[in-house]
């Protein structure tokens, strides 16, 4: 049985998921946005940041999101930023499909991540990801424009937002340009934690 297609992001209270400039990634605002995630034991282990870390519901959510994911899809902007910042053992540990306009050979990293570059559209990238994911889920990893393409195309089954207590004021909005006339949501879960409020929605076509 095929798994779901989902995305899971951290979002500021005013609706932003990233700063506007790639150069601001890992800056103070971004670190505040991810403050629920970065101290967790699972995150520290996955990113090779050392031993220790927090345990609790936030840690469980980070681990559960990772464990359900059989393949990831991302846009070229996210890949380009991550290529500079990820450790040599990239944090996905599954095949990852990059939606791009440029042909490039697969790029294999230590730890099980291989990036495949797909230059013939979001549907083909998703088809390839589904084939390798098997009965696990496909995560649309980002960035915001890529998530929006899949959402507007009716290809997202559900999504989760970690709503962080931080204001950006500007940057990349998650739902900027959403086709609200076609997309309907049903909230299925809401769970507060000490650092964020975790919201989960299923998606259906209007």
pLDDT at 206 over 60: yes
Predicted pLDDT of residue 28: 85
The residues facing 138 across adjacent strands are 5, 71
Predicted pLDDT of residue 205: 83
Lookup: tokens for 187:
């909230």
Predicted pLDDT of residue 23: 65
User: Tokens 């500079």 identify what position?
Assistant: 84
Q: Which residue did the predictor score with more confidence, 81 or 191?
A: 191
pLDDT at 26 over 70: no
Lowest mean pLDDT among 18-22, 153-157, 173-177, 183-187: 18-22
Predicted pLDDT of residue 51: 85
Predicted pLDDT of residue 128: 97
What are the residue ranges spanned by the domains of the chain?
A: 5-205
Average pLDDT over residues 29-35: 91
5-205 homologous superfamily: Dihydrofolate Reductase, subunit A (3.40.430.10)
């Amino acid at each position: 049985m095929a798994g779901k297609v989902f995305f899971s992001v951290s979002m500021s209270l005013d609706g932003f998921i990233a700063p506007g400039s790639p150069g601001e990634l890992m800056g103070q605002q971004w670190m505040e946005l991810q403050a629920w995630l970065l101290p967790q034991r699972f995150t520290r282990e996955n990113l090779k940041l050392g031993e220790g870390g927090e345990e609790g519901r936030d840690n469980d959510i980070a681990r559960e999101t990772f464990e359900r994911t059989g393949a990831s899809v991302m846009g070229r902007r996210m890949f380009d930023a991550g290529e500079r910042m990820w450790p040599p053992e990239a944090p996905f540990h599954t095949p990852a499909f990059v939606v791009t306009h440029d042909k490039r050979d697969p790029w294999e990293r230590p730890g099980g991540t291989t990036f495949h570059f797909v230059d013939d559209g979001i549907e083909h990238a998703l088809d390839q990801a589904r084939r390798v994911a098997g009965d696990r889920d496909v995560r649309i990893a980002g960035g915001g424009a890529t998530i929006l393409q899949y959402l507007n195309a009716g290809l997202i089954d559900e999504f989760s937002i970690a709503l962080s207590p931080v204001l950006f004021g500007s940057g990349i909005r998650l739902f900027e340009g959403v086709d609200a006339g076609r997309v309907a949501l049903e909230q299925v879960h809401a769970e507060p934690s000490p650092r964020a409020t975790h919201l989960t929605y299923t998606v259906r076509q209007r």
